[in-house]
Amino acid sequence: MLRFLLSAVASLLLAGSAQAELHERIAVLEFELNDLTLDPRNAAELQRTASIKPMLEHALTAANHATIAVDAAAQETADKGVGYLFDHADAAAALGRGAGADWVIVGRVHKASFLFVYFKVHVVKVATAQQVADLVVEVKGPQKTLTAQGVESLAKQIAAAVEE
């Protein structure tokens, strides 16, 4: 019986320390595509844009941040048009607040050329509804390899911004 109690207490302590190791709770919104090329919104670019959120969530989780899901329907309702959530930290913060997040990541893929894209992110602190960082990563070259590298770079910058 004593062995069982000690084992249970040890399990609780380990679970508590694992939760304590998690840093901030971060909600990553779906990225939007701002494609200014002559072939806007082609399938490959839409696929790349859709892949960024899950890659970023994975990278943030690997950095000991808890990623919080925001209901897709709630994001769609809050998004009044292209660029709205990107330009309105208060609306993004409200989504984060509803999901129980400390931070909201609002992202955009800005494609001005077929040769490169920019991954742009606004980091919004939910408690103050203020944008605290404006991050940009330029991605040039083969899409799959460099998209992942660009997302990793974004994750590091986001982690630094929320840990300040």
Q: What is the CATH number of the domain that holds 155?
A: 3.40.50.10070
Q: How many structural domains compose the chain?
A: 1
Query: How high is the pLDDT of residue 21?
Result: 54
- 14 lies in a domain? no
pTM: 0.84
- 112 lies in a domain? yes
Query: How high is the pLDDT of residue 69?
Result: 95
- 17 lies in a domain? no
- 43 lies in a domain? yes
Query: How high is the pLDDT of residue 22?
Result: 60
- 64 lies in a domain? yes
The secondary structure of the chain as a DSSP string is -HHHHHHHHHHHHHHHHHHHH---EEEEPPPEEEE-SSSTT-HHHHHHHHHHHHHHHHHHHHTT-EEE---HHHHHHH--STTHHHH-HHHHHHHHHHHT-SEEEEEEEEE-SSSEEEEEEEEEETTTTEEEEEEEEEEES-HHHHHHHHHHHHHHHHHHHHH-
Instruction: Give buried/exposed letters for 87-108 (b at 16+ CB in 10 A, else e).
Output: ebbebbbbbbeebebbbbbbbb
| 128: number of Cβ within 10 Å | 11
Q: Domain residues for 51?
A: 24-163
Q: Judge whether 19 and 63 are in contact, CB under 8 Å.
A: no
Q: Tens digit of pLDDT for each residue in 20-52?
A: 456 789 999 999 999 999 998 889 889 999 999
Q: Judge whether 99 and 69 are in contact, CB under 8 Å.
A: yes
- 102 lies in a domain? yes
Q: Tens digit of pLDDT for each residue in 92-142?
A: 999 999 999 999 999 999 998 888 999 999 999 999 999 999 999 999 977
Asked whether the predicted pLDDT for residue 15 surpasses 70, the reply is no
Q: Tens digit of pLDDT for each residue in 59-90?
A: 999 999 999 999 999 999 999 988 999 999 99
Asked whether the predicted pLDDT for residue 58 surpasses 90, the reply is yes
- 90 lies in a domain? yes
